């Protein structure tokens, strides 16, 4: 049995989202789940929101704030979203609002995409520096909009910002990836059972939700959610099925009357999942042996799996 698995990282996961998704189009609870304060200067409420088009739940807020200290970019209005475990997910804006760069130039589509890629990277170098450290100490940029001079971003950090929008990127990154992540994760641990999110997590097709569901399943809940657990044996993620096997091993995989229906679907599973299931079952009956015999003749059956099946058929396991 696979007891220790690598932790699944979100850093490489990009989610599709609509940049122009309106805050008013979302279904929001009347009361916020928390109010978050940033550096004792900015506070904003966070709500559980639902996208009506997909029925997807998020923690979300509509934030209005200044992001510059040099008056060369305009205040920002942005909708920020985290998943239900507190990981930043995406941002959106109102259709008639535009993010601006140096000298009030509008973001283009590539700028928005670049911003999303930066914000979702929780390990960005932005976490380790003050914003002033990211500026070129020898360079100068002259504003045509106002009588002002500012310093450009240092070339060393050009890959972690949107050109001309360092303050916007830096401010938003520290908001979405700062202490609020821990607050929201702690909140999720409190709200998960209360809101009965078990089936939502299990059916979400989001690996971190599926893993959370399986790891937080109480022994008394296994029977209630048995079908959801079995369905996760076919999850697209490589690790999730192994967590499901861990849940099923104690009861389901020891009773052929319960696991034979699963064995009939071996050809739908990934090879490494098939191997672990065959290796985990016990007390095989005649139906079990018939199912495994039929599977062993299929092209999908690997030499290792055929070896395990032969041991079962020969009463060696």
237-277 pLDDT, tens per residue? 999 999 999 999 988 999 999 999 999 999 999 999 999 99
51-73 pLDDT, tens digit each? 999 999 999 999 987 765 545 55
Tell me how far apart the alpha carbons of residues 150 and 136 are, in angstroms, rounded to a whole number. Answer: 10
Predicted confidence at residue 306, as pLDDT, reads 96
282-310 pLDDT, tens digit each? 999 999 999 999 999 999 999 999 999 99
- Tell me the pTM: 0.83
Whether the predicted pLDDT of 148 surpasses 50: no
Predicted confidence at residue 133, as pLDDT, reads 58
What would the mean pLDDT of 62-91 be, rounded to a whole number? Answer: 82
Interacting residues of 245 by C-beta distance below 8 A, sequence separation 6+? 1, 2, 233, 253, 273, 276, 277, 280
Mean pLDDT of the chain: 84
Distance set, CA 208 to CA 67, 157, 179 (Å)? 32, 31, 20
Tell me how far apart the alpha carbons of residues 18 and 91 are, in angstroms, rounded to a whole number. Answer: 8
Helices 109-119 and 166-176: crossing angle, nearest 10°?
40
Q: Indicate if the alpha-carbon torsion angle 225, 231, 236, 238 is positive or negative.
A: positive
Tell me how far apart the alpha carbons of residues 195 and 187 are, in angstroms, rounded to a whole number. Answer: 11
Please, which pLDDT band fits residue 16 given cuts at 50, 70 and 90?
A: very low
């Amino acid at each position: 049995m696979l007891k220790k698995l690598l932790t699944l990282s979100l850093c490489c996961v990009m989610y599709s989202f609509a940049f122009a998704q309106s805050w008013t189009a979302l279904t929001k609870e009347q009361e916020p789940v928390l109010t978050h304060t940033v550096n004792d200067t900015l506070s904003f409420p966070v709500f559980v929101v639902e996208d009506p088009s997909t029925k997807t739940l998020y923690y979300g807020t509509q934030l209005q704030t200044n992001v510059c200290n040099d008056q060369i970019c305009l205040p920002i209005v942005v909708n920020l979203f985290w998943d239900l475990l507190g990981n930043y997910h995406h941002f959106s804006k109102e259709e008639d609002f535009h993010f601006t760069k140096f000298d009030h130039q509008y973001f283009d589509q590539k700028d928005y995409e670049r911003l999303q890629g930066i914000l979702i990277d929780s390990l960005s170098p932005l976490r380790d520096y003050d914003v002033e450290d990211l500026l070129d100490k020898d360079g100068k940029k002259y504003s045509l909009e106002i009588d002002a001079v500012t310093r450009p971003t240092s070339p060393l950090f050009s890959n972690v910002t949107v050109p001309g929008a360092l303050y916007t990127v830096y401010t938003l990154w520290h908001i979405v990836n700062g202490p609020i992540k821990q607050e929201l994760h702690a909140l999720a641990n409190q709200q998960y059972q209360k809101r009965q999110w078990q089936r939502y997590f299990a059916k979400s097709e989001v690996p971190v939700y599926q893993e959370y569901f399986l790891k937080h399943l109480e022994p008394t809940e296994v029977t209630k959610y048995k079908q959801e657990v079995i369905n996760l044996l076919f999850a697209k993620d490589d690790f999730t099925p192994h967590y499901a096997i861990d849940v099923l091993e104690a009861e389901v995989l020891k009773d052929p009357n319960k696991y034979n229906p699963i064995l009939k679907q071996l050809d739908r599973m990934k090879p490494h999942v098939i191997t672990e299931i065959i290796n985990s079952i016990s007390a095989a009956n005649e139906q079990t042996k018939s199912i495994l015999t039929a599977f062993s003749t299929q092209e999908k059956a690997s030499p290792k799996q055929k070896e395990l099946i032969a041991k079962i058929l020969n009463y060696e396991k």
